[in-house]
């Protein structure tokens, strides 16, 4: 099973977490919604880096779990494939959820693979309330091939002008993730988040440049 950052993993409510000083709210959250999110860190010896969400924005806890504890994996594009938001937009008519239908239309025009992350993705997958009236919409775009600056600027313009909510668009490449908003500014180097940490690169799709950025 290939795991990538932002993937949601269904686990047992009593899953063993490898971490020190685990707050009580972590166990309560897992009892209510036994799902964790994959963090951007190396998977070593079958130990998967995960994060647990709490009720408050400040309640985020990082730990590791054994890969054998994973019962199901739901990646952000799976949410789009199944159009899960259609099932809850009536019962949860919040701006960040309603906006997904328009985002889908735009992404189809640009022929991009994408999915919602953050609180929106979490609620859509788990059914556990996480989205609020003021919630931002986190969007993850998956692109193995380079997106031109012109295309990226057009996409960002369309998203920001169509939607009445704040959005955060991250682009996942084979080597890491970067902010679409920063990319369209055209200022280099660009901050790329990798499993080994954040690095500055000139081209987030170029492995040679990426490797040289560690020097």
HSE (CB half, 13 Å, CA atoms) of 28? 8
Active-site residue, 138 included: yes
pLDDT digits (tens, 9 = 90+) for 12-38: 999 999 998 999 999 999 999 999 999
- Residue 136: both structure tokens together: 């931002």
Q: What is the mean pLDDT of the chain?
A: 91
- Residue 91: both structure tokens together: 């019962």
Q: What are phi and psi of 43, to 5 degrees?
A: -95, 115
pLDDT at 86 over 80: no
pLDDT score for 85: 78
Write down the catalytic residue from 78, 136, 168, 203: 136
pLDDT at 213 over 70: no
Active-site residue, 78 included: no
Q: Please provide the distance, in angstroms rounded to a whole number, between the alpha carbons at the two ends of the chain.
A: 32
pLDDT score for 207: 75
SS3 183: helix
pLDDT digits (tens, 9 = 90+) for 102-119: 999 999 999 999 999 999
**CA angle, residues 172, 154, 78, in degrees to nearest 5:** 40
pLDDT digits (tens, 9 = 90+) for 46-79: 999 999 999 888 899 999 999 999 999 999 999 9
Decide if 39 contacts 52 (C-beta within 8 A): no
Q: Are strands 190-194 and 197-201 parallel, antiparallel or unpaired?
A: antiparallel
Q: Taking the model in full, what pTM does it have?
A: 0.92
């Amino acid at each position: 099973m290939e795991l990538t950052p932002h993937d949601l993993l269904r686990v047992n409510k009593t899953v063993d977490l490898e971490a020190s000083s685990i707050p009580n709210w972590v166990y309560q959250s897992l009892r209510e919604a036994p799902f964790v999110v994959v963090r951007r860190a190396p998977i070593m010896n079958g130990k998967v880096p995960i994060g647990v969400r709490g009720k408050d924005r400040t309640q985020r806890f990082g730990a590791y779990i054994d890969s054998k504890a994973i019962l199901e994996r739901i990646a952000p594009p799976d949410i789009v494939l199944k159009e899960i938001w259609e099932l809850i937009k009536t019962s949860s008519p919040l701006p960040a959820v309603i906006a997904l239908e328009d985002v889908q239309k735009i992404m189809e025009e640009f022929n991009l693979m994408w999915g919602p992350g953050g609180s929106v993705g979490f609620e859509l997958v788990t059914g556990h309330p996480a989205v609020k009236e003021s919630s931002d919409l986190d969007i993850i775009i998956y692109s193995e091939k380079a997106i031109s600056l012109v295309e990226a600027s057009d996409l960002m313009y369309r998203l920001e002008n169509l939607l009445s909510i704040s959005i955060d668009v991250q682009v996942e490449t084979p080597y890491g993730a970067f902010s679409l908003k920063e990319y369209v500014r055209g200022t280099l180097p660009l901050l790329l988040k990798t499993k080994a940490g954040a690095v500055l690169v000139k081209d987030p799709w170029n492995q040679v440049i990426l490797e040289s950025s560690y020097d």
